[in-house]
Amino acid sequence: MTTWSATYTASDRDRRSWLGRAEDWLDERGRWAWIAAMVAGFILFWPVGLALLAYMIWSKKMFSHGCGWGRRDGNGHHHRMHAQARAMRSSGNSAFDAYKADTIERLVREQEEFEAFLARLRASKDKAEFDQYLDERARAARETQGDADGTAGRDDDRAAGPGRY
């Protein structure tokens, strides 16, 4: 698990501008909150509604899962933070919570093992490709050396028949 979810606190949210806090507030409530804000913006002052519509289209909040998942950076940290917070929330049933914690630990361990397997697979593939490159280079060097010695073409001349000499 990452420590990102533990470090993002309410004080971090308070440091954001009022626009950022408003965006977070709307994101927590989902797409319909954004649509309601846009309609209210059109009713109160049409440029505000138009600006909200443009922002929703530009940020892909209108046509994707963007507004239901909160603000994300390029790596999806905020999305993972919300997912982890939901996953770690207690259900009230201690047996289920223990089962859930064990399952999450097992899945994390399996994911790490799979990622390690993929890394080994990539490394072995890279090694095989590099060995093939070295073999081809050595073969080309032998052929070039044979041409310089004058021995490379003799087999071809003999195969052509006795009238060739």
* Per-residue pLDDT tens over the stretch 64-77: 554 444 444 455 45
Asked whether residue 162 is domain-assigned, the answer is: no
- Find the helix packing angle between 18-29 and 31-44, rounded to 10°: 120
Asked whether residue 39 is domain-assigned, the answer is: yes
Domains identified in the chain, total number:
2
Boundary of a domain, candidates 67, 89, 111: 89
Asked whether residue 157 is domain-assigned, the answer is: no
Residues 6+ apart with CB under 8 A from 2: 77, 80, 84
83 with 23, same domain: the answer is yes
Residue range 116-156, pLDDT digits in tens: 999 999 999 999 999 999 999 999 999 888 777 765 555 55
Average pLDDT (11-39) is 79
Average pLDDT (47-65) is 78
Asked whether residue 156 is domain-assigned, the answer is: no
Asked whether residue 69 is domain-assigned, the answer is: yes
Q: Which residue has the higher pLDDT, 86 or 102?
A: 102
At residue 137, the pLDDT reads: 94
76 with 130, same domain: the answer is no
Q: What is the domain extent for residue 52?
A: 4-89
With DSSP H G I counted as helix, E B as strand and the rest as coil, what are the percentages for the chain, rounded to 5? 80, 0, 20
62 with 108, same domain: the answer is no
97 with 72, same domain: the answer is no
At residue 68, the pLDDT reads: 46
85 with 98, same domain: the answer is no
At residue 161, the pLDDT reads: 53
Boundary of a domain, candidates 89, 111, 126: 89
127 with 145, same domain: the answer is yes
24 with 84, same domain: the answer is yes
Boundary of a domain, candidates 66, 89, 112: 89
Q: What is the pTM of this model?
A: 0.35
At residue 34, the pLDDT reads: 85
Asked whether residue 165 is domain-assigned, the answer is: no
At residue 70, the pLDDT reads: 45
Q: Per-residue confidence at 1, pLDDT binned at 50, 70, 90?
A: very low
Distance CA 143, CA 141 (A): 5
Residues of the chain with pLDDT > 70, as a percent, come to: 64
At residue 162, the pLDDT reads: 55
Angstrom distances, CA of residue 134 to CA of 7, 42, 62, 126, 129 = 49, 68, 54, 12, 9
Q: What is the mean pLDDT of the chain?
A: 76
Asked whether residue 154 is domain-assigned, the answer is: no
